[in-house]
Amino acid sequence: MKKSVLVGATCLLSAMTSGIVSAEEDKVKLYTLDCGRIEMLDLDLFADNGAFKGRKNSAADACYLIRHPKGDLLWDTGLPEALHEQKGGVTNGPFHLERPKTLKGQLADIGVKPEDIEYVSVSHSHFDHAANLNDYAASTWIVHEKEYELMFSDASRANAQSFAAYDKLENSQKVMFDTPHDVFGDGTVEIIPMVGHTPGHSVLKLELANTGTVLLTGDLYHLQESRELKTVPRFNTNADDTRMSIEAFEKLAQKTNARVVIQHVVKDFEAMPQIPAYLD
């Protein structure tokens, strides 16, 4: 009798534990990765109306790993990994750049190798978001059609240093889009075009079980003030497209009651769980 009770209890505990493990595996998890630090030495570049003239800003450079039951998506790859070896960082034009940690090292901390990642996508092709794309050439690349055209244009090919960061992806397996793309087919991870900063600039929308909707902004905004003032950087591809994207983004954020994460805002970066912790 006692043996039967013990066996029954063991089976029940096993079933409960299995259920917990299954529930954990079924979660969509958002890991925040430190992909560099940027000192913006001339903030006037980030507002075509002069709103930030004479100012500087300290910015984060965040990347994200989204773990879904059907696979992993790496969103943005950050500043060049080689900066990690440059003590004190480097100054490049209006930016001072540092890379305290490597992306590969942080992924290793949570047991992930580059070749394990099924999908890679970047909000856009600027050097602080796409510098290490070649490291993930084995992944399926999800890319906006217009951003692909920009990245493999004659002008981009002529910039040998920048082009060498992603040239292997030209012949990689890829998914191209120009309308919202549902990565896993269940509405939990969606890449949404918000063009203007570059021709194919996009944001990432996540539906998390506990947190709800999360929106990762790419470079639609660079500062919290950018969002409040609806500023447009002087170097954007198309100012009018940017303003339309801002309007569409804010409607989406309001409709979904989203947590908005501005990827370059240090406060937003520090408010996210740090690995190995994650948002779910």
pLDDT tens for each residue of 56-74:
999 999 999 999 999 999 9
Q: Is the CB of residue 38 less than 8 Å from the CB of residue 99? A: no
**Residue 257: which region, alpha, beta or left (left: phi > 0; alpha: psi -120 to 50)?**
left
Task: Specify the length of the chain in residues.
Answer: 280
Distance CA 269, CA 157 (A): 33
Report the pLDDT value the prediction gives residue 23, as an integer from 0 to 100.
Answer: 58
Q: Are 110 and 165 in contact (CB under 8 A)?
A: no
Amino acid letter, residue 168: K
Instruction: Give me the helices (H) in 87-131, please.
Output: 103-109, 127-130
**Distance between CA 26 and CA 39 in Å, rounded?**
39
Q: What CA–CA distance (Å, rounded) separates 224 from 153?
A: 33
Q: What single DSSP character describes residue 99?
A: -
- Which DSSP symbol is given to 112? -
Domain segments of the chain: what residues? Answer: 27-271
Percent of the chain with pLDDT over 90: 90
Q: What single letter denotes the amino acid at residue 254?
A: Q
The domain 27-271 having CATH identifier 3.60.15.10: the answer here is yes
Give first-to-last CA distance, the chain, whole Å.
Answer: 43
Beta strands in 41-183 (DSSP E): 57-68, 71-75, 90-92, 95-98, 119-121, 140-144, 174-177, 181-182
Q: Which residue is associated with the tokens 């006692």?
A: 2
| Residue-level pLDDT at 14 | 46
The pLDDT score that the predictor gives to residue 26 is 87
H helices present in 50-168, as ranges: 103-109, 127-130, 145-151, 154-158, 160-163
Look-up of token digits 């996210």: 272
Give the pLDDT score at 12. Answer: 39
User: What pLDDT score was predicted for residue 62?
Assistant: 98
Query: Has this prediction a pTM greater than 0.75?
Result: yes
Q: What is the pLDDT of residue 196?
A: 98
Quick one: tokens of 40? 């913006």
* pLDDT tens sequence across 243-253: 999 999 999 99
Residue 76's pLDDT is what? 98
Q: What's at 149, amino acid-wise?
A: E
Q: How far apart are CA 259 and CA 38, in angstroms?
A: 23
Tens digit of pLDDT per residue, the chain (280 long)? 334 443 444 443 444 444 444 556 789 999 999 999 999 999 999 999 999 999 999 999 999 999 999 999 999 999 999 999 999 999 999 999 999 999 999 999 999 999 999 999 999 999 999 999 999 999 999 999 999 999 999 999 999 999 999 999 999 999 999 999 999 999 999 999 999 999 999 999 999 999 999 999 999 999 999 999 999 999 999 999 999 999 999 999 999 999 999 999 999 999 999 999 999 9
